[in-house]
Amino acid sequence: MTDTIVIDKLKDARILVTGGAGFIGSNLCEYLLGHGAIVHCLDNFATGHQKNISSFIDHPNFTLFTGDIRNIEDCKRAVSSMEYVLHQAALGSVPRSINDPITTNDVNVSGFLNMLTAARDEKVKRFVYAASSSTYGDSVALPKEEDVIGKPLSPYAITKYVNELYADVFHKVYGIDTIGLRYFNVFGRRQDPDGAYAAVIPTFVKKFINHESPTINGDGSFSRDFTYIDNVIEMNVKSMLTSNPEALNTVYNVAYGERTTLKQLTEILKKTLTTYDTTIEEVAIGYGSERVGDVPHSLASIEKATTLVGYTPKYDLEKGIEESMGWYWKHLK
């Protein structure tokens, strides 16, 4: 996933993963522990799950801190003695933020500021945080390039842009090194299919497995740059450990660099699942109304990440689906 030189640097590195019981966070924890790192995990289990960390909860290099990033003392406890922070804790979902903008802001802005402050006080070497492709807002330019954004289309998008502004100011004022990662539609093992704000891939996979018709929002022509979890792990690790000074204190797209329409996605999922259960071929696909706040098309330029950080994503959509389908089939039935 990452080159040998980078992997060697992980041994005994002290790393806090916030939101470490969540989808992305738990995958990061598992990878880091597997390469000799000492890992602290901070999570309040609002959207994370105990089952996500059960396979390594007793690992001698793993410490769980049950707490909330909205509590500065929880942040300070978790970051104590750490060298690096991978900040994944957030309330995701555009629809959730539209339904409850206050809680989204409390977690994503106030919580982010708490964590950034605690990291500054602990004098961590680097603060790598989950930004979002939603920051591009109403910009219609494709592919999305980091320096060209539009106006936000949801409260969630505003909070993630504010994160970038705070990170920039904290570097300029306090000298802490930060890197923001604008994730594009991440998917893979441990992604929760349940709940009102579940992501499209696990939601549709579970529907197909249960022989229920998935419903596409709109006519299926909206497109996304779907990004497999192992690509995301690679970019987090390389951002955390890069020795290139030009790579610091900026933001990067984290994607594969190809776009797929929702209709194409649904057909790929259906075709792949049919190899497990041939009757899924007969499941119909439904269409509904477009969601408020949805961006029609999303496609990332990954040139900046490739050039400055050495990001080389190895999993396109179909390869990522193939890699994760065994997990989906086992856990979503």
| Residues taking part in catalysis | 156
CA angle 211, 212, 214 (to 5 degrees): 125
∠ at Cα 131 (127, 135), nearest 5°?
Answer: 145
- H or E element at residue 80: none
SS3 327: helix
176's CB contacts (< 8 A; 6+ apart) are 116, 119, 120, 124, 127, 170
Going by the DSSP 8-state scheme, the letter that residue 278 receives in this structure is G
Q: What angle do CA 194, 326, 312 make, to 5 degrees?
A: 95
Write down the residue that tokens 């409390």 correspond to.
106
Q: Give the span between the Cα atoms of 257 and 316, in whole angstroms.
A: 9
